[in-house]
Amino acid sequence: MSRFSRIPIVFCLSLFLAVTLVGSSAVAQVTTGTIAGTVTDITGAVVSGASVTIVNSANGLTRKVTTSDSGEFVAPGLYPGTYKLTVEASGFKKLESSGLVLSAADRIDVPKLVLAVGTTADQVTVTADAGQVQLQSDSGERSDLITSKQLDQVALNGRNVLDYLKLVPGMSGTLDAHQSGTGGLDAYNINGTRANQHEFTIDGASNVDTGNNGGTHVTINTDAIEEVKILTSNYQAEFGKAAGGQIALTTKSGSNQWHGNGRFFHRNDGLRSIATIILVTNSVAPSRKTDYSFSGARNSTDS
């Protein structure tokens, strides 16, 4: 093989690696968040070289970073969850801050972490207020978040997560989700954009059928969903591809505690409200649906 014939092969390999790395980075940005902040002393002077340990309270995953010369730190690629921050520096008391809630695609700027003079054996603990609003000061995005608790407490006829989007400000749709299934994305307009201009990802992978940009490939059991973030406008550049809204679904991950669930969902035509004329003419077909699940194994019957 000549020297010149090897050049296209090397070029193609380099291009493939570049695309792969960029793609994986984009996926990580969609499904993860970032925690950033500044460490100072009580006089307001920045503390450089401080060790910042960030721990996911549910599963114990740990990230360690060090503050820069300007006292700043950034920890990207963190999965959604509740985090605890521990800051340690020579000549200062150890500082712990807990209860920091991070969602997918968030960049949370932690309020200034102020270290008091003392030894690392001493400790200062700060707990975030449950009702505290955590601002993203470096982003002008308009978005809404649907948590697993909300999905569990709202009655979804058909158990389709897209049905919940009707409650999100800026969403306008006519989706009939009485029975769970694929599709339905093109039944929505987000802040006036076209119905076939949205992106819908599951753990960073696109779930949009590009045949018409309105169908979906799979439907996720709501019990397996950790959260759904809907970005309606002014979102960051990494959310590309679509000119409409962005729907980023994150599935549940494991934790340090053993848990499971059981559910029984039943719908019967004898329990629904039907107009008198339909009852007399008997012109409506029976509609029955029974779902039951246990520890993630789900079965259903429809008729």
Each residue's pLDDT tens digit, 176-226: 877 777 888 888 888 888 888 888 989 888 899 888 888 888 888 888 888
Chain center to CA of 187: 22
Q: What is the pLDDT of residues 135-188, one digit of tens each?
A: 556 666 788 888 888 888 887 777 788 888 888 888 888 888 777 778 888 888
| Boundary-marking domain end, from 64, 93, 127 | 127
Chain center to CA of 192: 23
Residues sharing a CB contact under 8 Å with residue 226, sequence separation 6 or more, in sequence order: 80, 147, 148, 250, 251, 252, 253
- Whether 87 and 119 map to the same domain: the answer is yes
Domain containing residue 151: CATH number: 2.170.130.10
Q: pTM score, two decimals?
A: 0.64
Domain count, the chain: 3
SS3 content of the chain, % helix, strand, coil (to 5): 20, 35, 45
Question: How does the average pLDDT of the chain come out, rounded?
Answer: 77
Q: CA-to-CA distance for 50 and 295, rounded, in angstroms?
A: 43
| Residue 286 pLDDT > 80 | no
Is residue 179 in a domain?
Answer: yes
Is residue 18 in a domain?
Answer: no
Is residue 228 in a domain?
Answer: yes
Residues sharing a CB contact under 8 Å with residue 263, sequence separation 6 or more, in sequence order: 223, 291, 292, 293, 294
Measured CA distances, 57 to 83, 109, 121, 141 (Å): 6, 19, 22, 27
- Whether 110 and 169 map to the same domain: the answer is no
| Residue 46 pLDDT > 90 | yes
8 backbone dihedrals φ, ψ, rounded to 5°: -60, -35
Q: Do residues 278 and 231 make contact, with C-beta atoms less than 8 angstroms apart?
A: no
pLDDT for residue 288: 57
Residue 43 DSSP code: T
Residue with tokens 């980075």: 25
- Whether 247 and 266 map to the same domain: the answer is no
Domain that holds residue 243: 142-251
- In this structure, the number of other CB atoms found within 10 A of the CB of residue 181 comes to 10
